[in-house]
Amino acid sequence: MNRKTKYILTAIAAVLLIAAVVLAVTVRGSAPDGSGLILETGGKTITVSWEDLKKTVFTGEIINGKGETSNHEYQGMELSELFTAKNIVITADTKITVTSEDNYTAKLTGEEVMTAGKVYAAVVCDSEMIENIDGGQGGQLVVYGDANAKRQVRYLKTITIE
């Protein structure tokens, strides 16, 4: 390989590295600001502090992607209760999108959320604070009885209700 080719390959590698860093910062930084869980519905934005979610202690089995179960004790709030407290009306046909700080999304139905004891926003797991992406207080979506572990959204940030 001649010298000119080496310079070109080095320049391309440098440009790709810079692009990757810029993309990572942009994607991570695009999550909404605010200290708490953001609810978006009907053109309104409601921020719920993490402290306000520490209402209930709940336990149950979580199923991971391999079908294995584990028991955990959480502290948080059932989503249906949270929506009721914030005067958000849902029906079985309501579409709910949960988004994390790193822009991972999961979909829920109104029917799932209305099922008692199924869907929660948790802020404590097994007596330890659930952290956000930067290490402060954060949250996690907990969906009991769901073998799709991808819906146990960590770094919970925004819930959009349509």
What global pTM score does this model have?
A: 0.76
Residue 16 has pLDDT above 80, yes or no: no
Please tell me which residue, 46 or 18, carries the higher pLDDT value.
46
Strand residue runs (E) in the chain? 37-41, 44-48, 56-63, 69-78, 95-100, 105-109, 119-125, 128-129, 140-143, 156-161
48-76 core/surface letters (b: 16 or more CB in 10 A; e: else): bebeebeeeebebebbeeeeeeeeeebbb
> 120-160: per-residue pLDDT in tens?
999 999 999 999 998 899 999 999 988 787 888 999 999 99
Q: What is the CATH number of domain 34-161?
A: 3.90.420.10
Q: Is the dihedral of CA 144, 71, 82, 46 positive or negative?
A: negative
Residue 25 has pLDDT above 90, yes or no: no
Q: Where do the domains of the chain lie? A: 1-30, 34-161
Alpha-helical runs (H) found in 58-123 = 79-85, 110-114
